[in-house]
A = this chain, B = another copy of it.
Amino acid sequence: MSFSDHIRACNNYNRARVVPFFADERRIGWLRRDNAAALARFRRVFAVERDRVHLVARGDVDAVSAAVDEVVEALVLENRLPKWRNETFDVAPRWGERPLFRVDRGAVAFFGVRAYGVDLNGYRRDRGEVQLWVGRRAPDKRLAPNKLDNLVAGGIGNGYGVAATLAKEADEEAGIPASLIERAVPVGAITYLMENEIGIRDGVLFVYDLELPADFVPRNRDGEVVDFRLMPARSVIQRIRATDDFKFDVNLVFLDFALRHGLLDIDDPEYLDVASGLHRPFD
């Protein structure tokens, strides 16, 4: 196990296994070839060609979303997709642009549309040493059950902005009050492109750092985290190097934290793999 193994795992996307998914001549997703084939019979919604798929459903966001939902429902019924999450993500060619439609969170990777999330590093300094708050995911989470996770992390649902998602998740997941989360500093984004069981995860994580007071103790309120522990940041990094204990993309978020805070030794043989591997450029 190495840092690079985690970076590679999050970037195992293989261009040969996918076709681009277009809307109005702009790419909005990546469809694995088997997923593209499964869309061929929904001719009023998708036009499946040999090397690309087009969205052909027309109308406003509600109309297109309804057309896509019918397809998602059919795919759920034939077990190509997990059950509905009943939480929708906006789909647009670019962050900040007007969405073309909304899609259920469970189908995001099927269509390979970009999935946006927030991730909060909650840390404190004890006698010069940086400590990180680390959570453990509940055993009944669909994705990465029991894995170690960041203090706060969550997907950006339809209609929510970045800061609003952070505040909501910080409250639900870790009991961080509004007065404290306001001090969180946006420090960039992690980007990766990963094939998973469902399709392609085009992941973008907006990353925040929050220095927490010594008397703050996180309390989970939504049942998604079973416990929190405070760990020396250097121990977190050693454990990332040696194990698969952390959720796949959380490895990358903590490596970014270590890099930015000078906790990674510049003579580490993997220093440049980490520095160059956490921000896959958009195509």
Chain B residues whose C-beta falls within 8 Å of the C-beta of A161 in the assembled complex: 267
Q: How far is the CB of A242 from chain B (nearest CB, A)?
A: 20
**Chain A positions near chain B (C-beta within 8 angstroms):** 11, 95-96, 161-163, 185-189, 191, 204, 206, 259-262, 264, 266-267, 269, 271-273, 275-282
Chain B residues whose C-beta falls within 8 Å of the C-beta of A261 in the assembled complex: 185, 187
Chain B residues whose C-beta falls within 8 Å of the C-beta of A276 in the assembled complex: 189, 191, 204, 279-282
Tell me the bound Cα distance from A261 to B188 in angstroms: 9
Chain B residues whose C-beta falls within 8 Å of the C-beta of A259 in the assembled complex: 187-188
Tell me the bound Cα distance from A163 to B271 in angstroms: 14
Tell me the bound Cα distance from A135 to B32 in angstroms: 50
Chain B residues whose C-beta falls within 8 Å of the C-beta of A278 in the assembled complex: 279
- The reply to whether B272 and A277 contact each other, CB–CB distance below 8 Å, is no
Q: How far is the CB of A122 from chain B (nearest CB, A)?
A: 15
Chain B residues whose C-beta falls within 8 Å of the C-beta of A266 in the assembled complex: 162-163, 186, 206
Tell me the bound Cα distance from A204 to B273 in angstroms: 11
What are 25 residue pairs bridging A and B, where the CB atoms are less than 8 Å apart in the complex?
A95-B271, A96-B269, A162-B266, A162-B267, A163-B266, A185-B261, A185-B262, A186-B266, A187-B260, A187-B261, A188-B259, A188-B260, A188-B275, A189-B271, A189-B272, A189-B276, A191-B272, A191-B275, A204-B272, A272-B282, A276-B280, A276-B281, A277-B279, A277-B282, A279-B279
